[in-house]
């Protein structure tokens, strides 16, 4: 019993402990290795970090609810790219020409709707066919990417709207728009998962599906809603990012699913579902971004970042297993 509590405390605190470790490590190591004179734990640097975390972070919140629900979504990167293209393309469509800058909310709405519908489509297929979410979203990851190419082939899609860029680059209380969106999404998903009936039922389904079904919880609609949520958030992430950059390549968003899943698992969400928290995921997102920046700060290149993140993911899995290790007399199967 006590052991269990210890392991739980370790697990829930682990990600923040890891972040603290990263901060100290990179600050100290930076003194000796850094190419720049700036301190690592610089306030501006931290704000920038939050902003840079946003694209992955926003999607990771959706992945948390989907994974807690017992599913997974590999198609988020492709959804992200579709939403980005719709956002930028639609602003150039002649039918919206008369709208002036009012085209911006329309474009947002279109992109977000597209993302939500694609997510809901995944959910509907998982629900109605009973095919595993991994396979369904593996398929739609390819299919959605195909749709991305249908817009402009292999050419990038670009459209800069300065009003939009100004909005995206605006800062409020020192935080960039993207950071605000990330914080707001975190708050809303936290609310959904911990305070609403839908959220609690999502946990129950991921934890013990049979018990949930026996208690009359309708598994299908809950799953579909969660897929719609992650689709919406993938689109929102694109809206935030491309409002500023104004140009999207058809390969953008590739491997996002891997980054997002890494963040969610680092944040303590169980891959089999039923356990996980948005706050943990937030920690996971920050930890990854910190690692990228920190390694950059001490002069390591992207290759080291990939290597380290991959190994850390495995190490977390290993530690988690060691903390839940079976008693000696347990059945060895």
Partner 1 sequence: MTTAPVLHLDNIVKTFPGVRALDGVSFSVLPGEVHALMGENGAGKSTLMKVLGGIYQPDGGDIYMGDTKVTMSGPLEAKAMGIVFIHQELSLAEELSVAENIYLGELPRKSFGRVDWATLTAQTNAILKKLNVGFDAKTRVGDLSIANQQMVEIARALTVDAKAVIFDEPTASLTDAEKVVLFDVIADLKADGVGIIYISHRMEEIFKITDRISILRDGQYQGTVVTAETNEEAVTQMMIGRKLDLSRNAAHHDLGAVALEVRGLSCGALYQDVSFEVRRGEVVGFYGLVGAGRTEIAETLFGLRDPSAGQILLDGEEVRLHSPADAIALGISLVPEDRKGQGLILGMNCRDNMTLPQVDDLKAGPFVAEGAEIAIFDQYRDRLDIRTPSWKQRVGNLSGGNQQKIVIGKWLSMHPNVLIVDEPTRGIDVGSKSEIHKLLRELAAQGYAVIVISSEMPEVLHVSDRIVAMYSGRITRTFTSDEVTEDNLIQAISGIKPGHAA
Partner 2 sequence: MATLTKQRIGSVLAKQGILIAFAVFMIAFTIANPKFLSVDNLFSVVRSSAILGVMALGVTFVVISGNLDLSVGSMMSFSTIVVLDLHDKIGPLLAIPAMFAMTLGLGAFIGFLVGYLRLNSLIVTLGMLSAIHGLTLTYSGGQNMDIADKEGTWFSAFGQGTALGVPVPILIFIAVAVFLGAVLSKTAFGRKVYAVGGNGTAATFSGIRRARTVFTCYLISAACVATAGLIQASRSMGSQNTVGQGLELEVLAAVILGGASLLGGSGTIFKAVIGVLILGFIQNGLLLLGLQFYVQFVVTWVIIILAVWLDIAAKRGKLWSPIA
Which x/- pattern over 106-125 shows residues binding partner 2 (rule: CB under 8 A)? -------------------x
Whole-number minimum distance, CB 19 to partner 1, in Å? 24
CA separation for the pair 180, 327 (Å, rounded): 46
Burial of 138 (0-12, 13-18, 19+ CB in 10 A): middle
Q: Does 210 bind partner 1 (CB under 8 A)?
A: yes
Choose, by CB under 8 A, the member of 197, 255, 303, 322 that binds partner 1: 197
Q: Select from partner 1, partner 2, none the partner in contact with residue 201, using the beta carbon and a kind-dependent cut-off of 5 to 8 Å.
A: partner 1
Binding residues for partner 2, total number by CB under 8 A = 56
Whole-number minimum distance, CB 181 to partner 2, in Å? 26
Choose, by CB under 8 A, the member of 8, 38, 195, 218 that binds partner 2: 218
CA separation for the pair 308, 94 (Å, rounded): 48
Q: Which of 216, 237, 234 is nearest to 51 (CA)?
A: 237
Q: Does 243 bind partner 1 (CB under 8 A)?
A: no
Q: Does 195 bind partner 2 (CB under 8 A)?
A: no
What kind and span of H or E run contains 259? Answer: helix 256-266
Q: Which of 235, 117, 225, 224 is nearest to 181 (CA)?
A: 235
Q: Select from partner 1, partner 2, none the partner in contact with residue 255, using the beta carbon and a kind-dependent cut-off of 5 to 8 Å.
A: partner 2
Structure tokens at 221: 């609609």
Which x/- pattern over 232-271 shows residues binding partner 2 (rule: CB under 8 A)? ----------------------xx--x--xx--x-----x
Phi and psi torsions of 171, nearest 5°:
-125, 145
CA separation for the pair 169, 175 (Å, rounded): 10
Binding residues for partner 1, total number by CB under 8 A = 29
Q: Does 74 bind partner 2 (CB under 8 A)?
A: yes
Q: Are 230 and 66 in contact (CB under 8 A)?
A: yes
Q: Which is nearer to partner 1, 98 or 333 (CB)?
A: 333
């Amino acid at each position: 019993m006590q052991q269990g509590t210890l392991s739980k405390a370790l697990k829930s605190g682990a990600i923040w402990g890891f972040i603290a470790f990263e901060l100290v490590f990179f600050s100290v190591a930076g003194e000796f290795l850094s190419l720049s004179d700036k301190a690592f734990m610089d306030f501006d640097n931290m704000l920038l970090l939050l902003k840079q975390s946003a694209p992955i972070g926003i999607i990771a919140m959706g992945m948390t609810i989907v994974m807690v629900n017992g599913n997974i979504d590999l198609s988020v990167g492709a959804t992200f790219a579709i939403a980005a293209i719709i956002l930028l393309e639609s602003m150039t469509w002649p039918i919206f020409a008369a709208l002036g800058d009012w085209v911006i909310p329309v474009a947002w709405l279109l992109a977000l709707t597209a993302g939500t519908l694609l997510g809901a489509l995944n959910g509907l297929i998982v629900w109605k066919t009973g095919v595993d979410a991994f396979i369904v979203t593996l398929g739609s990851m390819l299919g959605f990417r195909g749709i991305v190419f249908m817009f402009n082939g292999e050419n990038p899609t670009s459209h800069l709207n300065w009003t939009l860029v100004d909005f995206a680059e605006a800062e409020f209380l020192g935080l960039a728009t993207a950071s605000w969106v990330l914080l707001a999404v975190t708050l809303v998903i936290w609310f959904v998962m911990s305070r609403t009936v839908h959220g609690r039922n999502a946990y129950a389904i991921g934890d013990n599906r049979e018990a949930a079904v026996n208690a009359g919880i309708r598994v299908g609609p809950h799953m579909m809603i969660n897929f719609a949520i992650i689709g919406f958030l993938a689109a929102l992430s694109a809206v935030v990012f491309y409002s500023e950059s104004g140009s999207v390549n058809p390969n953008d968003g590739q491997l996002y699913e891997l980054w997002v899943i890494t963040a969610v698992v680092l944040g303590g969400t169980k891959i089999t579902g039923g356990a996980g928290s948005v706050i943990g995921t937030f920690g996971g997102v920050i930890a990854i971004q910190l690692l990228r920046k920190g390694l950059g700060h001490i002069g390591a290149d992207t290759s080291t970042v990939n290597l380290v993140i991959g190994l850390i993911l495995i190490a977390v899995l290993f530690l988690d297993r060691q903390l839940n290790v079976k008693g000696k007399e347990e059945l060895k199967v």
